[in-house]
Structure 1
């Protein structure tokens, strides 16, 4: 492969980010996730919440972590992409492994510097997330076996998302904004259920295409739909557990459940195509936005 001149690298990385890490999706998700988790953690203690400088540092750190993970996934999936996605940047040479690894090193330095201004705990928790992700990428041989078993792959890779949630909550505890208790576990379960609803929805379909790695291929469309709907129900259950004492305002984010309810009905009734993704995406956005609004309007 020809050598890439150093002045070309930023533009090549920029094109990679715009294509494979679409800011309007990944940045929006990362920021909403942090705002919802932080605001709910503070509001659950009965204290009014407003975003601070530390809030935006956490949000920036999570977005950087998501970009780090996207770059790492691109390298892990190279063999599969050569067969099934020959237009991907790493396959075509639009980006190289060396460029991605250099960017990942830069992300690590920047994220470490940002979190050093928060606390040593925040820094260590974020670096633990990076470390776990790199550990998963290290053994190249078991990767094909994981790819062939989607549920096993999810069980192994999903803890990266859990660690990011722990980073946000743990940094709040270290800063003295909240005291660690059962509500932290409930909030992490809530965000897990929201994410897993979207994750299962995007990989549940009646008619898989060649090369697609789907949960519905392992479970069958109906059982995959049940799991997808169950994740949304779990998110609602966590909100009831956390915020029922606050009355109707506290439970207002539960109204977003109408989206997965409709998505489940449509998927099972039509019996063709995939899960209606606008409903799954809308559930994530509506839930997180409603949690933030609820925290702003009242503890």
Structure 2
């Protein structure tokens, strides 16, 4: 009881430091914001309706950002054994934050997200909680099947659906609200967003050399094949953009322009023959594509 009394008042400050260290709001919040604006705006404009951000948009943005924070807190606990060996400076390893504090914060996040989406629809609540619930299921799954944790490609195949479910939440909540009608265009839009995200995901884990415990995709595929897959995801996103927006004219091809950065990143990586994939072009590709999609929705 004494320990609880002493540590409880300090928990918000400790969690705040954890967020700044491991969540990096300028990255995660920016990504969540741009992703939701691009997905919602594209879904609405593709349906032939003028789009402007609304209060419901704000709820979706906050919900996705909080869900990303929930996932970050969960990953920190799942990776504890690995971090003790390879990342001894992480907050949970050093005791800067405790697992109990992270679990308490996750419960608060889930409650806030539920309350926010109750203002939209029951379907929105169920969809966002489905994403969080799937993430929680990964904890026992990785315990029962170590290969999910130890084999990067298998781990990606199993964990990526969390992102897909979050995209489905944004789109599904629009359908539930009657803003858009469900159709093949929605599936294509989710595939587009997947290509954008997976380009960056593969880029950050592709390198010519693999340090112990790095869990690189290039360690399993080889650097050149990993580079081809990385560019392939960007190319897949461009194909989706053309299928969705080309009928609107040349301006609608604006979201394809950032793909030049994916090609530039690949050329630099292959020409260097050492080191990792240049992350700046990959990050700007993600931000640029989402910004272009949002601009296209506003300009319709």
- Normalising by structure 1, what TM-score? 0.98
Instruction: Tell me which residue corresponds to 2:45.
Output: 43
Runs of 4+ in 1 over 3 A off after TM superposition: 1-4
Match of 1:28 in 2: 30
Choose 203-212 or 168-177, whichever is displaced more. Answer: 203-212
Q: What displacement does 1:211 show?
A: 1.9
TM superposition shift of 1:142: 3.5
1:244 and 2:270 aligned: no
- Which residue is equivalent to 2:262? 260
SS of equivalent residue, structure 2 residue 165: helix
Q: Offset at 1:280?
A: 0.4
How far off its partner does 1:244 sit? 0.5
What are the Cα deviations for residues 256-283 of structure 1, in whole angstroms up to 9, with x where unaligned?
1110010111111111111010000000
Q: Tell me how far 1:138 sits from its aligned partner.
A: 2.3
Post-superposition offset of 1:32 = 0.4
Residue 178 of structure 1: aligned partner? 180
Structure 2: segments with no counterpart, 5+ residues = none
Deviations 1:97-118 (A, max 9, x none): 1000000000010000000000
Task: Please state whether the residue corresponding to 2:92 is helix, strand or coil.
Answer: helix
User: Equivalents in 2 of 1:240, 1:166: separation in Å?
Assistant: 21
Counterpart position of 1:104: 106
The separation in 2 between residues aligned to 1:27 and 1:153, in whole angstroms, is: 24
Question: 1:179-204: per-residue Cα shift (whole Å, max 9, x none)?
Answer: 00000000000000000000000000
Correspondence for 2:157: 155
Structure 1 residue 208 displacement after superposition: 1.4
Q: Which moved more, 1:130-139 or 1:197-206?
A: 130-139
Give me the whole-angstrom Cα distance separating, in 2, the residues matched to 1:290 and 1:142.
42
Name the structure 2 match of 1:229: 231
Question: Structure 2 CA distance, aligned partners of 1:33 and 1:112?
Answer: 20
CA contact (8 A) 2:142 2:149 kept: no
Residue matched to 1:206: 208
User: Contact conserved, 1:147 with 1:213, CA < 8 A, in 2?
Assistant: no
Do the aligned residues in 2 keep the contact of 1:16 with 1:95 (CA within 8 Å)?
yes
Q: Is the 8 A contact 2:147 2:154 kept in 1?
A: no
